[in-house]
Amino acid sequence: MSTALKDAAERHSRILDAAERCFVRSGFHRTTMQDVAAEAQMSAGNLYRYFPSKDAIVAGLSERDRNELAADFTAPAGPVDFFGFLEALGRKHFVEAPREKAVMLLEIWAESTRNPAVRDCCGAIDGLLQTMMLDLIAAGKNSGAVVASVDPAFALRVLFTMADGLFKRRALEPGFDGEQELANAMAVFRAVFTGQIQPTTSAPSGVSA
């Protein structure tokens, strides 16, 4: 990569980091492009060269999240430890990641209820996560960690519902105990993926096997 491209990538990342801090501190709507420029220590004109609007910044944050997710799910060599993988992923987000990441996520979720562009960004991340989790469940079935009778749609609904709740609690509860909450979640996930918890009705639409 040339020096110019490296510099541009560094500024791009610096702007996204600055926007995250602003959104967490002041909220999406109270944050202006001038706020982001000041936080990134650059002129507003320079900022607009990279991102023409706050929606474009959210799209940039979403793209970065998609890339990080893809990296998280990069298959290691050899068989995958299904439950070990889930636990490591949960620890990364609910124990190791700063609370501000969860606050940022809540800001974007709230904005997605009003803003179609932000909603599309959230949908793209959810779609990618769904695809990768379905592949992981299939690998878990092949290895025997996940019982063959598990309905992937039901299992994903449980996993997503619990994860979303943990993100909300991580953002809002000062005394949130990530290790304990992760242990509780893993107990439920083990029960679901080993067939001890079964759906009472057909899984809601939106997640397909």
pLDDT in tens, 22-52: 999 998 889 999 999 999 999 999 999 999 9
Domain residues for 7?
1-52
Q: Would you say residue 199 lies in a domain?
A: no
Based on the fold, state whether residues 33 and 99 are members of the same structural domain.
no
| Domain contains 91 | yes
Q: How far is CA 177 from CA 28, 42, 173, 180, 182, in A?
A: 27, 38, 9, 6, 8
Same domain, yes or no: 48 and 76? no
* pLDDT for residue 1: 61
pLDDT under 70: residue ranges of the chain: 1, 75-79, 201-209
Predicted model pTM: 0.84
- Look at residue 67 and tell me if it is in a domain: yes
Q: Domain for residue 200, yes or no?
A: no
20 and 104 in one domain? Answer: no
Same-domain status, 105 and 24: no
Residues 11 and 68 in one domain: no
